[in-house]
Structure 1
Amino acid sequence: MNAMGKKVFLDLKFHDIPNTVSRSAHAAAELGVFMFNVHTMGGLEMMKQAAQELAKASLKKNIKRPKLLGVTVLTSIDQDILRDEIGIQHRMATQVKHLVKLALDAGLDGVVASPQDIEMIRSRCGSGFLIVTPGIRPSWAPPDDQKRTMTPKQAIARGADYLVIGRSVTAQPSPIKALELILKEIEKAG
Structure 2
Amino acid sequence: MTRTEAKDKIIFALDVHNLQEIDRFAALLSGKVGMFKVGKELFTTAGPAAVEAVKRHGGEVFLDLKYHDIPNTVAQAMLAAGRMGVKLANLHALGGPEMMSQAAEAVRTNFSDSERPRLLAVTILTSSTQETLSAVGIDHPVEQMVVRLAKLARESGMDGVVASPLEIEAIRAACGPDFLIVTPGVRPAFAAVDDQKRIMTPAEAVKAGADYLVIGRPIAKAADPAAAADLIVDEIVGGC
Provide the residue aligned with 2:204 in structure 1: 154
Q: Secondary structure at the match of 2:59?
A: coil
Cα offset, 1:136, TM superposition: 0.5
Q: Which moved more, 1:85-94 or 1:35-44?
A: 85-94
Provide the residue aligned with 1:132 in structure 2: 182
Asked whether 1:40 is paired with 2:93, we answer yes
Match for residue 122 of structure 1 among 155, 162, 172: 172
Q: Which moved more, 1:172-181 or 1:119-128?
A: 172-181
Deviation by residue 1:139-177 (Cα, 9 ceiling, x = unmatched)? 221121110111001001101011110111112222122
Asked whether 1:79 is paired with 2:130, we answer yes
Asked whether 1:11 is paired with 2:61, we answer no
TM-score by length of 2: 0.74
> How many pairs are equivalent?
187
Q: How does 1:1-190 map to 2 (within 5 A)?
A: 1-59=54-112, 64-83=115-134, 85-190=135-240
- Root-mean-square deviation (CA, aligned residues, Å) is 1.5
Percent identity over the alignment?
51
Instruction: Give the Cα–Cα distance (whole angstroms) in 2 for the partners of residues 79 and 174 of structure 1.
Output: 37
Instruction: Give the Cα–Cα distance (whole angstroms) in 1 for the partners of residues 169 and 235 of structure 2.
Output: 20
Cα offset, 1:72, TM superposition: 0.4
Question: Contact 1:10–1:37 at 8 Å: present in 2 too?
Answer: yes
Structure 1: 5+ residue runs without aligned partners? Answer: none
TM-score by length of 1: 0.93
Cα offset, 1:10, TM superposition: 0.9
Q: Which has the higher contact order (CA 8 A, sep 6+)?
A: 2
Q: Secondary structure at the match of 1:164?
A: strand
Instruction: Give the Cα–Cα distance (whole angstroms) in 1 for the partners of residues 111 and 236 of structure 2.
Output: 33
Instruction: Give the Cα–Cα distance (whole angstroms) in 2 for the partners of residues 68 and 189 of structure 1.
Output: 29
